[in-house]
Amino acid sequence: MRIRVIHGPNLHLLGRREPEVYGTTTLAEINRRLEGLAAELGVSVYATQSNHEGEIVTWIGELVEGWDGLILNPAAYTHTSVAIRDAVKAVGIPTVEVHLSNVHAREPFRRKSLIAPVALAQISGFGASVYEVALWGLVRYLRGAR
């Protein structure tokens, strides 16, 4: 089982960027945790980060063959990118949208996700742990445990 993880804009700054909102865990640490959990679950993960909407759309489009699921943190594109939403819908693979902070407890513009209606699930508010929760839940879903 192959799971793609795509981190959106500014997530390369985790650990330094607004630690009171996003915590102090770095993106490299998140990826290491995911790799460890993936090994325990007997699956593989491949994680990348981009600040560029078009690159994220391209990566999602490449998932039509050989990938079982997607964990996506679209970051600020959550609220603005019809292109990312349409790419997720087009590839049709189970997608879990994640956010480190509780987006529903923040500014009103952050409460609307264009991705959530085409995603299997949305997980937010548990800091860096959202990725591990997403991987665990996605693998269970893909294995038929619902």
In order, the DSSP letters of 21-83 are HH-S--HHHHHHHHHHHHHHHT-EEEEEE-S-HHHHHHHHHGGGTT--EEEEE-GGGGGT-HH
Whether this prediction's pTM lies above 0.85 is answered by yes
Q: Is 22 annotated as catalytic? A: yes
The whole-number average pLDDT for the span 66-84 is: 96
Question: Domain limits of the chain?
Answer: 2-142
Task: Give me the catalytic one of 99, 104, 131, 141.
Answer: 99
Q: Is 77 annotated as catalytic? A: no
**So what's the architecture of 2-142 in CATH?**
3-Layer(aba) Sandwich (3.40)
The whole-number average pLDDT for the span 67-91 is: 97
Confidence of residue 107 (pLDDT cuts 50, 70, 90): confident
